[in-house]
Chains A and B, each alone.
Chain A
Amino acid sequence: EPEVTQTPSHQVTQMGQEVILRCVPISNHLYFYWYRQILGQKVEFLVSFYNNEISEKSEIFDDQFSVERPDGSNFTLKIRSTKLEDSAMYFCASSEITDGNTIYFGEGSWLTVV
């Protein structure tokens, strides 16, 4: 069964360092998403991406965040200068169409900022 894959599964980084989280969405999907879940809290929307541009972003997705689809398969989330409060599980997800179609999540990338 097709699945969304994410790397790395866990990364520890120093505060102020740049981090890139990588995702390979399901191959025929056209909509891509990043969500974040701070430990013990709910899943929060960060950004959605379609047709090589951001469709929507939340207030969390400020200037230190960026997304990119550098080739036909990868979808990346970059955090330019990490802060302690960026420590969270980051989920990539993809779907075929928006507005109701099911989104499929990757297994998540657990980011720890020290």
Chain B
Amino acid sequence: AQTVTQSQPEMSVQEAETVTLSCTYDTSESDYYLFWYKQPPSRQMILVIRQEAYKQQNATENRFSVNFQKAAKSFSLKISDSQLGDAAMYFCAYPGTYKYIFGTGTRLKVLA
């Protein structure tokens, strides 16, 4: 079965510092995508970044980057130069057939 695990319920980071959020997943597929979504207090689900498994290069979007380790089935999100607006719940997601499977989320607090 396809599963997504986020083992850090909560993380804190000082403003302007770097933080890494962890995600592991399980799948028997060889070609797939992985996503990170951000959910601020407004509760909207906002796409942060996506990674294609067949690409060896880690995806980057401005201050957000991933560390994708396919063999280890690990997909961590690195946020550089953290800003107060980064404070939110972050969900890792794996798109199974006809549905997306989400992890339980990591609440990120950014300290001024």
List chain A positions with a Cβ less than 8 A from chain B: 31, 33, 35, 37, 41-45, 48, 50, 55-56, 58, 89, 91, 93, 98-105, 107-108, 110
Contact = CB atoms under 8 A, between A and B. Distances in A.
Nearest to A55: B98
Contacts of A103: 95, 100
Interface of B: 31-33, 35, 37, 42-47, 50, 52, 91, 95, 97-105
Nearest to B47: A102
B105 A42 contact: yes
Contact of B43 (A45, A101, A102, A108): A108
B35 A56 contact: no
Contacts of B102: 42-44
Contacts, number: 60
Q: Nearest 9 pairs between A and B by C-beta?
A: A105-B45, A56-B98, A100-B33, A55-B98, A48-B98, A45-B99, A43-B102, A42-B104, A107-B44
A99 B47 CA distance: 16
13 contacts: A33-B100, A42-B102, A42-B105, A43-B91, A43-B102, A45-B99, A48-B99, A56-B97, A93-B45, A98-B98, A99-B95, A104-B47, A107-B43
Contacts of B104: 41-42
A57 B47 CA distance: 23
B34 to A, nearest CB: 9
Given A99-B95, A100-B33, A102-B50, A45 B101 contact: yes
Nearest to A107: B44
A31 B97 CA distance: 12
B45 A33 contact: no
Contacts of A99: 32, 95, 97
Contacts of A44: 102
A48 B96 CA distance: 12
Nearest to B29: A99
B95 A100 contact: yes
A62 B81 CA distance: 45
B33 A33 contact: no
